[in-house]
Structure 1
Amino acid sequence: MPQVNTRTSTPPSSEQSPYLLLFIILVVATIATWLIPAGKFDYVTREGIKFAVKGSLHAVPQAGVYPLEIFTAIAKGMVKSASVIFLILFTGGVLAVVEATGAIATALNALSRSTRLSDTRIVLIFGAIFALLGTTGVVVNAVVAFVPIGLLVARSLGLPPILGASLVYLTCAAGFNVAIMNPATTGLTQHLAQLPLFSGMLLRGLTCLLFVVSAVLFLIRSLRRARREGNLRPTQPIEAGEIHQVTGRHKLILATVVVALLIFIGGVIRYHWETNEMSAMFVLLAVVVGIIGRMSGSDIANTFLSGCAKLVKGAFIVGMAGAISLVLQQGDVLDPIVGFLSDLLAPIPPSGATIGMFISAALMHFGISSGSGESALLVPIFTPLGDNLGLTRQVMVQTVLLGEGIVNSISPTSGVLMAVLATANVSFGKWLRFVAPLVAVWFAICVVMLLIGVAIKWGPF
């Protein structure tokens, strides 16, 4: 049975383990809690949301985090991220069961040998599907669940794993970074700024289109470069002895998977389902697919657990990344950092302040991996600042959203990104070199579209 190669191989000596990288950042964050003067904003709570009061930052007793508390923070980060961790583990389990039926291998072999589906068309297919899932917020943390599928497609096409992960992650990120109709990011941030829900759709939609087109073109170019470097489509099946014809049973299994995902999308939109519901869906899907594939009960259980085991490395990284934010919060240094960055923008002209707010939000996202948490902290501060500078609140909202979004693809503190890289067995350094040109293009798009927003006084207010 073909499997996604998610085993941890011994990395070259020149490459750092993602765990080591995150631990170093965690140590630096711990030291910062002793060096940065501790402080807190005053907060008011309205409709269950905490708002930071502008100008209320005040000193509090230094709350430096002790060295041994680093390890407590790691444990707390695991607990706090439990729902995402189990989602990742169950993802490995259900995909292992689906793979055991042979449905994915046969379908991907047919896909890789199809003369009708060129590399460009495959990229367009992934781009259309995952950009839509990302911009609506249906797939956010759960993007890790689909990375093994991208890896399987890449392997069947003779492409390196980094391209397989990119087919899923970058196309999803291109949509999520702008989030036209994501209630957890755009909806929340507009609510905090007292804007109509999902207002400003035209300019935001154009920005999202530019993100997606640039990501698709980048992937097409990357695939062509990989072909020139000798990564050709295999002329033989991936593994000897495979059955190459997609049977009716295989089609039923794949249809069941598609229907399950559509049901989940409907649940997200109508009933606000989250990671727990998707984890439950994966357990149920594994049982149903196993039965259709004529697997015994023991085979289903053992295959599911073996699939979970293969994604332990990626799952635990989510909790490791979460420990960094916990340390900064425990040391009471996040508010002073936000206050310092916000104060820098006050004397700058509107256009410059807009870009400054965007960069500030991007820098903050390295420390606050939660987009909604960062919005709840920054928007109450940025809103009066923007009002004083003559910026519309729609522009202010977009600076926060784009600042959060663009960092997701390059932040070592992003549990989702680090889990994706661990699943694909790609080092952070290699990923950074690969994705840097695309992020640079995205940065330029952000600057241009924000300046357009300032020029047209993008509203409604």
Structure 2
Amino acid sequence: MPDVFVILFGFMILVMIMSYIVPAGSYERIKNNGLTQVSTDSFQYIDAMPLGFLDLFTAIHQGLTGASGIIFLILVVGGSLKVIESTGAINNGIYRLIHLAKGNHNVLIVMFCTTFAIFSSVGIAPNLAIAFIPIGLLLSRSLQLDPIVGVSMIFLGAYAGFAGGVFDPVVTVTGQKIAELPLFSGFLFRGVIFLVFLSITIVYICRYAQRVRSNPDNSFMGHVGTAPDPKDGELEAAPVLSLSHRIVLLLIPVAIGTFLYGGFNFGWGIKELSAVFIILGIVTAAICRVTPNDFVKRMMAGANEVMYGALVVGVAAAVIVLLKQASLIDTIVHGIVSSLDGHGKIMAMQLLYAFNLTFNGLITSGTGQAAIVMPIMVPIGDMLEVTRQSTFITFKLGDAVTNIITPLSGTLMACLAIARVSYVEWFRFALPLVLIWVVVGGLFVAIAVSINYGPF
């Protein structure tokens, strides 16, 4: 499969070709209640602005510098969360959950799904799930369940939380910044999405696990999938969750809460959010007695792990740079709005939701997708007289659903490779859940539009 950077560069080449074929166009921009909006009836075609060969590469620099605020936020968040992870607080907390469940597979599924959903929803990237797949496999086989259950209660839990992105400081912040919304605004509605997606996922996995427990032949991997693997080893003994670990685990919601208070009362933005996460990392290091030099090393290691995703944002932004240079964004917006004319607001947003679901199958990076899609979706939503928050949630739901089934997802394919589950077996298992998620996501988009889902 092509790497996401290869796909993005392909989009850049496509835009350069389009600049010679598609007419350039422009809307007038106006300020309305602090938001930059297009004047609905002001579209006009203008002289073509074809792109040159050098533009293809200077756009990358412009995209990286233009998205520097988001890029540095991702690096800071990644570094701070690495400091927390390196203390062992997350690992020990998960092992404590395992031993609290005492072998009850339904309780374990609920615990794991909920834990990874919460992690994902507060910014701990879903790809962290890769590291815990071996634990999931140990649990599933010790309970006479197949590896699909071991993968799903971790991987699907993470993406159920990602769908809501309640306090996600990366994708949610990226999308809301582009939409000129207060950061983390609308969290109550996203909290409902979080609970619904998580509940559906837990019920789905539990029902499948019960079928496999009652008859191993019901496994999509066959009877052999439930047999113990001697290579798996044994589960570690329950660790002691120290006072410092308990404090560290409490620091994350405290940090998010602090930023929310500052955001709603003092207008805090990305630079303050970066500062909060730097402080979070420093306080964690102090509590766990991490030396200053080790703190820096762990921050750098964490930043290195998210560097790939951070740079995706800049290169994705380069696509928008080219579209703006060629004056094609407004032409695209005008074409889409014209095709949506007469469908009504709810149906029009459903079509945008369907588009985003499809697009997410190609660009699985949430921040990269936000950088490309949101500048196009925002003016469309404005002209449809849909709230910015509704437009954002349409993007967010479309960004989450197909991640659990697209073969272009590096996280998914890594999890399946570790578990030795074939993509076909996973596809057969996950497809019904994907369809349920698609329908539920569409319902939430319709509700958001109907209630004029606002900033808060």
TM-score (structure 2 length as normaliser) = 0.68
Per the alignment, residue 351 of structure 2 pairs with 359
Alpha-carbon deviations, 1:120-178, whole Å to 9, x = none? 322552487479x6xxxxx5xxx3x444654455454337778645433432324669x
Whole-angstrom distance in 1 between the partners of 2:300 and 2:389: 43
Question: Where in structure 2 are the equivalents of 1:6-405 lying within 5 Å?
Answer: 15-115=1-101, 118-123=107-112, 125-126=114-115, 129=118, 143=123, 145-147=124-126, 150-158=129-137, 164=154, 166-174=156-164, 210-217=196-203, 229=225, 236-237=234-235, 244-347=239-342, 350=344, 354-360=346-352, 363=355, 369=371, 373-374=375-376, 376-383=378-385, 400=391, 403-405=394-396
Partner secondary structure for residue 19 of structure 2? helix
> Offset at 1:37?
0.8
Q: Is the 8 A contact 2:163 2:401 kept in 1?
A: no
- Mapped to 1, the partners of 2:82 and 2:206 lie a distance apart of 29
Q: Which amino acid aligns with 1:404?
A: F
Deviations 1:213-236 (A, max 9, x none): 445445657888799845989663
Tell me how far 1:420 sits from its aligned partner.
Answer: 8.9
Q: Which amino acid letter does the alignment assign opposite residue 331 of structure 1?
A: A
Contact 1:39–1:336, Cα closer than 8 Å, also in 2: yes
The letter of the residue matching 1:167 is G
Do the aligned residues in 2 keep the contact of 1:253 with 1:289 (CA within 8 Å)?
Answer: yes
| Alpha-carbon contact 2:394-2:445 (below 8 Å) kept | no
Structure 2 gaps, min length 5: 138-146, 213-218, 360-368, 417-422
> 1-side partners of 2:277 and 2:353: how far apart?
35
Moved more, 95-104 or 70-79: 95-104
Query: What's the CA shift for 1:207?
Result: 7.3
Alpha carbons 1:379, 1:397 under 8 Å: kept:
no
Decide which moves more: 329-338 or 367-376.
367-376
CA contact (8 A) 1:313 1:423 kept: no
Identity of aligned residues (%): 20
SS at match of 1:44: strand
User: Aligned pair in 2 of structure 1 residues 175, 358: CA closer, same or farther (>3 Å)?
Assistant: same
Contact 1:84 1:275 in 2 (8 A): yes
Mapped contact 1:171–1:216 kept (Cα < 8 A): no
Asked if 1 retains the 8 angstrom alpha-carbon contact of 2:95 and 2:238, the reply is no
The answer as to whether partners of 2:71 and 2:311 remain within 8 angstroms in 1 is: yes
CA contact (8 A) 1:362 1:406 kept: no
Q: How far does the alpha carbon of each residue in 1:3-40 deviate from its partner, in whole angstroms, 9 at most, with x for none?
A: xxxxxxxxxxxx32222122222222222222211111
* 1:24–1:42 Cα change, 3 Å: same
DSSP-derived class of the 1:316 partner: helix
Structure 1 residues 355 and 255: CA distance shift in structure 2, 3 A = closer
Question: TM-score, normalised to structure 1's length?
Answer: 0.67
Could you say if the C-alpha distance between residues 215 and 257 of structure 1 is closer, same or farther in structure 2, counting changes exceeding 3 Å? same
Question: Cα–Cα, structure 1 residues 253 and 226, in superposed 2: closer, same or farther, change >3 Å?
Answer: farther
CA RMSD across the alignment: 4.9
Which consecutive residues of structure 1, in runs of 5 or more, have no partner in the other structure? 1-14, 134-138, 192-196, 384-392
In structure 2, do the counterparts of structure 1 residues 439 and 25 end up closer, same or farther at CA, with 3 Å as the change threshold?
A: farther
Give the letter for the 2:7 counterpart: L
SS at match of 1:45: strand
Match of 2:142 in 1: none
- Aligned-partner Cα distance in 2 for 1:188–1:74: 18
Partner of 1:409 in structure 2?
Answer: 400
Task: Decide whether aligned partners of structure 1 residues 212 and 45 sit closer, same or farther in structure 2, where only a CA change above 3 A counts.
Answer: same
Q: Which moved more, 1:151-160 or 1:244-253?
A: 151-160
